[in-house]
Amino acid sequence: MAKEIIGIDFGTANTRIYSSLTKGVVFYEPTSIALDSYTGDIKEVGFLSKKIQDRTPYNITVIGPIKNGQVYDVDVATEFLKKVFKDLRLNSIIRGITVVLSCPSESSKVSQQALIEIGKRIQAKEIYIESSAKLAALGAGESIDSPEATLVCNIGCGVTDIACLSLGEIVECTSTYIAGGSFDEAIRRNLILEQHIQSGLSACETVKKKIGNLSSNSENKLSEIKGKDTITSLPTSAIVSSSFVKKSIQPLCDIIAMKVNDVILNLSSELSSDLVSNGLLLTGGSALLPGLKEYLSSRLSIPVKVAAEPENATINGLGVFIEKLLNK
């Protein structure tokens, strides 16, 4: 009987689950669970739970158990996984198998212990914790086992994980909560300050993806956003531009650039010299933001490339890591 290993990329926005038996992703939905506040019963998980967020009656609470890339609630996170495994009909085989979980490179022992506790509660026999930046590099097809430096910046929804790898392991790393979700929050706050409109984060994310661009010579596109007037409390809408979005998120991109620079400064001269040609690898969903690659390259004075499937780099890396475990 083939050995089964499950890989779990527990993200702030989405959770992806990889199965070694199918050699592919068997679950890719929002990390969200709707609970009955009175009974504790699970109403929905994933897409259906996210769809009813901010639209529920008083007795239904929608919770995201992962915040800023860290486990916020072990109990809820465990229930989320158990429900997902049940829906996937994996609950009968999950007991006693090997589980690999991703986490930010700079995660504390407490955060890692929370993941281990979740693994124990779903009755996994073996539990591996691996850096999301390292996995993202693997998923992007990088040869991380070479003695040359591989610099990765994995920009997720809740955390940006930055690491330099050499000989298959992390040499230097750092992380910041400035990430894709922070971009959405910055747009939301600027809408309140400048146009007196309070809008949801999902609407701000849509605008960011639709017209967001950090390039200095990009077309200034327009988009409508709906919300509530902060003065009258009445429903309203406004037109926002690409320049407005850029003004909102550029200071946050500067912080990410500084964090990457911090990692570079702590490298030896031999590894730093590798970056002149190897440059920086961008992964994570926010790596798709137009103009970000060029902006970071100008700030860091090194080449920057975006992975072929940046949003799937970590889960693809989990697949590569799991195949290596199976071949040991």
- The CA-based angle 148-152-154, given to 5 degrees, is 165
How far is Cα 86 from Cα 69, in angstroms, rounded to an integer?
A: 24
Q: What region does 140 belong to: left with phi over 0, alpha with psi -120 to 50, or beta?
A: alpha
pLDDT exceeds cutoff 60 at 1? no
Q: Which residue has the higher pLDDT, 307 or 40?
A: 307
Average pLDDT over the chain, rounded to an integer: 92
- The CA-based angle 16-19-27, given to 5 degrees, is 30
Q: What is the percentage of the chain residues whose pLDDT exceeds 90?
A: 78
Q: Which domains does the chain have, with CATH numbers?
A: 5-135+313-326 (3.30.420.40), 142-178+250-307 (3.30.420.40), 180-248 (3.90.640.10)
Query: What is the mean predicted confidence (pLDDT) over 296-305?
Result: 96
This prediction's pTM? 0.92
How far is Cα 178 from Cα 154, in angstroms, rounded to an integer?
A: 11
Q: What are the tens digits of pLDDT across the range 264-300? A: 999 999 999 999 999 999 999 999 999 999 999 999 9
pLDDT exceeds cutoff 70 at 2? no
Instruction: Categorize the per-residue pLDDT at 3 as very low, low, confident or very high, splitting at 50, 70 and 90.
Output: confident
pLDDT exceeds cutoff 80 at 95? no
Under 8 Å between Cβ of 226 and 237 = yes
